[in-house]
Amino acid sequence: MKRTWRFWAALWVGKLITLGLQISGKKGTTLPGKIAQGVEPEILKHLGIAYTEGIVIVTGTNGKTTTANLLASILREAGKSFAFNQAGANLVTGISGALIQNTRWSGSSRTKLALLEVDEATVPKFCAQVTPSLAIVTNFFRDQLDRYGELDTTVRMVRESLSSDTVLILNADDPLVAQFGSNHSRTCFYGVESTPDSRKESQETREAKFCPVCGRELGYSLFHYGQLGVFYCEGCGFKRPEPEVLAQNVFSDEGLRFRVGTATFSTALQGYYNLYNALAALTAARQIGVADPLIEKGLREFVPQAGRMERFYLPEGEITLTLVKNPTGFNQVIQTMLSVDKPLRILIGINDLAADGRDISWLWDVNFECLEAQAERIQQVVCSGLRAEDMALRLKYAGIPEEKLTLEHTLTAALSLVQRDRQGNEAAFILPTYTLLFPLREILEERMKTAGSSSLRDNKRREEART
């Protein structure tokens, strides 16, 4: 493909802006990508041809960031270099910016492999210019309906965008994802045999209540969470595919441990929903040609990314920060909290800015009622953010006693409240939507510096520096 003057102008402008941001001490890939896109709308097509070892994308509703970073950890253990939008800027502008950073002024790429997290709504735009060699599809749940529209539309857009030349790594337990394999010959499925939380019956909201092929109601022999499980359709025969990578003997204790075939794997991640992220990364790594011992080490030594069950160590005790953004994800976080056999202190921060989703009616689809069943364990719930009152009202309707609910819009004060009079045997969780995640994280980091404490991530970095 011949590179035009537009490409060179876009590349050099993007690199100059990147250099300027670095000199000024600022981070970010979105601005260079946005300006470069304005100069050359097809810059991704020009940049993509350099990745002769392949372009791996990760998409889906939940788990994109964690899955991409798990796979990155494995690839690093395997000694592979790759371009990566690690900052999580997963729209066209952010992806363009990340690839510009990995491109020399001469137009050649510093690496021959790329690993990219791609927003579901961005997949059609991305695939219009670039054909991924490997695509991981994690799951599909309702998320920001004001932005994405109905879930069926999102699923259809992603499915129709992926080329027959792309190898698909698919979640066999999600019928909305599993259907991608029906007319696609190059697929590899991963799934879970069972977890301690799997049930024969479920009252959870399911996004895929009906068969995506014939429309008949799906049956289940086992539910894992949401619509994920061992499903079947008595109408047309559509059913959960047999996973080539199947997690068995799943166990959770300060992390996850599971077996695939004869190999045992573990990760510091909490929550059975993260088991799927580990499996997706494992499956993709095998497809790339990484050996199981390196995969095992990459998973085991992975440090959770910012706001994904990230643990901080303050004088009052350990505190866990994790993003919440839709009903199914929130439900899984609640189940993870309740699996901790300790009294609980919780800070929930809800904003309704554009990046969070303007419509917060999804809070009424979260199963907060299961917190009421454990009310004696809940010491305090602090509600913060622009929609703190809405969150408190939802919890009140769920049966959480009013005396355990506190409203505090100022983040520093809210964090102090959830830590005040905390006892040594109590666990603390902070659950923010997207635009509150990084402000809260900055406050936690500042308090750690003041106290001379650290996060699990900081400890890992020091260990790496010593070795």
Is the pLDDT assigned to residue 164 strictly greater than 60? yes
How far apart are the C-alpha atoms of 429 and 310, rounded to whole Å? 10
**In angstroms, what CA-CA distances link 413 with 345, 383, 387, 404?**
15, 11, 16, 16
Q: What angle do CA 414, 319, 419 make, to 5 degrees?
A: 40
Residue 462 has pLDDT above 80, yes or no: no
Q: Span 130-154, mean pLDDT? A: 81
Higher pLDDT, 241 or 370: 241
Q: At what angle do helices 327-338 and 273-288 cross, to 10 degrees?
A: 110
- Give per-residue pLDDT as tens, 234-266: 999 999 999 999 999 999 877 899 999 999 999
Q: Report whether 344 contacts 337 (CB < 8 A).
A: yes
Distance from chain centroid for Cα 433: 13
Tokens of 210: 């009906």
Alpha helices in 89-190 (DSSP H): 92-101, 123-127, 145-148, 151-161, 175-178
Compute the distance between CA of residue 176 and CA of residue 334 in angstroms, rounded to an integer.
24
Q: In the predicted model, what is the mean pLDDT of residues 156-182?
A: 95
Spatial CA neighbour of 353 closest among 386, 330, 393: 386
pLDDT confidence bin for 463, thresholds 50/70/90: very low
pLDDT of residue 103: 93
Give the active site residues: 359
> Going by DSSP bridges, is the β-strand pair 405-407/378-384 parallel, antiparallel, or unpaired?
parallel
Distance between CA atoms of 37 and 339, rounded to whole angstroms? 46
Q: Which residue has the higher pLDDT, 457 or 384?
A: 384
DSSP string of 314-341? ETTEEEEE----SHHHHHHHHHHHHTS-
- Please provide residue 6's backbone torsions phi and psi, each rounded to the nearest 5 degrees: -60, -40
Q: How confident is the model at residue 270 (pLDDT cuts 50, 70, 90)?
A: confident
Check residue 149 and give its pLDDT.
57
User: Mean pLDDT highest for which of 70-74, 193-197, 401-405, 444-448?
Assistant: 70-74
Average pLDDT of the residues in 124-142: 94
pLDDT tens track for 292-323: 999 999 999 998 777 778 888 888 888 999 99
Residue 358 has what DSSP assignment? S
Question: 182-232 pLDDT, tens per residue?
Answer: 888 899 999 999 999 898 887 776 777 899 999 999 999 999 988 999 999
Q: Which of 126, 133, 131 is nearest to 167 (CA)?
A: 133
Q: With bands split at pLDDT 50, 70 and 90, how would you rate the model's confidence at 119?
A: very high
What's the whole-model pTM score? 0.82
- pLDDT of 289 reads 95
- Token pair listed for 448: 């750690």
Residue 432: is its pLDDT beyond 90? yes
C-alpha to C-alpha distance for 190 and 243, rounded to whole angstroms: 5
Quick one: DSSP state of residue 361? G
Percent of the chain with pLDDT over 90: 64
Query: What are the chain's domains?
Result: 5-300 (3.40.1190.10), 310-461 (3.90.190.20)
Q: Is the pLDDT of residue 465 over 70?
A: no
The proportion of the chain whose per-residue pLDDT surpasses 70, expressed as a percent, equals 93
Q: Which residue has the tokens 């077996």?
A: 259
Higher-pLDDT residue of 394, 308 = 394
pLDDT at 455: 52
Strand partners, 428: 319, 345
Question: 61-103 pLDDT, tens per residue?
Answer: 999 999 999 999 999 999 999 999 987 788 999 999 999 999 9
Query: Distance between CA atoms of 257 and 23, rounded to whole angstroms?
Result: 43
